[in-house]
Amino acid sequence: MGSGQECHTIGENKYENGVSKIYQTEGHQIELIEFKSRTHHLVDDSKCWIFRIMKFNDLDEALKIKCELTNQKNDVEFDTALGEHLDAIEGYDNEWKIHIGTEDGEVMHSRAEINDWFPERLKNKVNFYESITTYLKGDTGLETKIPRLKKYEKIHVQYLSAIDKNTKQNANCRTAVDELKSKLDNWIGIR
């Protein structure tokens, strides 16, 4: 959220495979769900977040979400790690690698077409070539600018991270962050 915006905790939820806190700004309700990857058993560790954002009034309020690797060692290299339905970055050194991923614009477009936690009126803003998520300078993270929502519209944004030993044949980190909303909803127990 931008500087100067007030945010209050108004509740929490427990799910089968996750927990959440619910926050309220002047114009939005945001449920932040934290969980482990569905494939957490394949990697050394994972930490994942879903932001379920709903606009509850007509107040104009800008929101953006950022997930970035900071305070890393000097020998860590970064790169983009695109995949089918995936926008991601990877950081790695000789011993470890980490991936942070989110849905790409094409997946968001598909969800907008059926009004699945992405407003149908915004489907032309996301596609194979365009997304509401961008790569941060140096490929150290991702930033999602939440489109201006109308009253009662809602949007789902996810950031999935996984860390594992860096071996040439190991694609487990990438697999752990390449997830569709529907599969995550089922895994976490969101009904």
Which helix (H) or strand (E) segment holds residue 66: the answer is strand 63-68
Write down the pLDDT at residue 2. Answer: 47
d(CA 149, CA 58): 9
What is the model's pLDDT at position 4?
Answer: 55
Q: How many helices (H) and strands (E) does the chain have?
A: 3, 11
pLDDT digit string (tens) for 40-57? 888 999 999 999 999 999
pLDDT tens-digit series, residues 68-96 = 988 777 788 999 988 888 999 999 999 99
Ranges under pLDDT 50 in the chain: 1-3
- Residue 21 CA to residue 164 CA, distance in Å, equals 28
189 and 15 Cβ atoms separated by less than 8 Å:
yes
| pTM listed for this prediction | 0.93
Question: Is there a contact between 146 and 53 (Cβ–Cβ < 8 Å)?
Answer: yes
Contact present, 112 and 120 (Cβ < 8 Å): yes
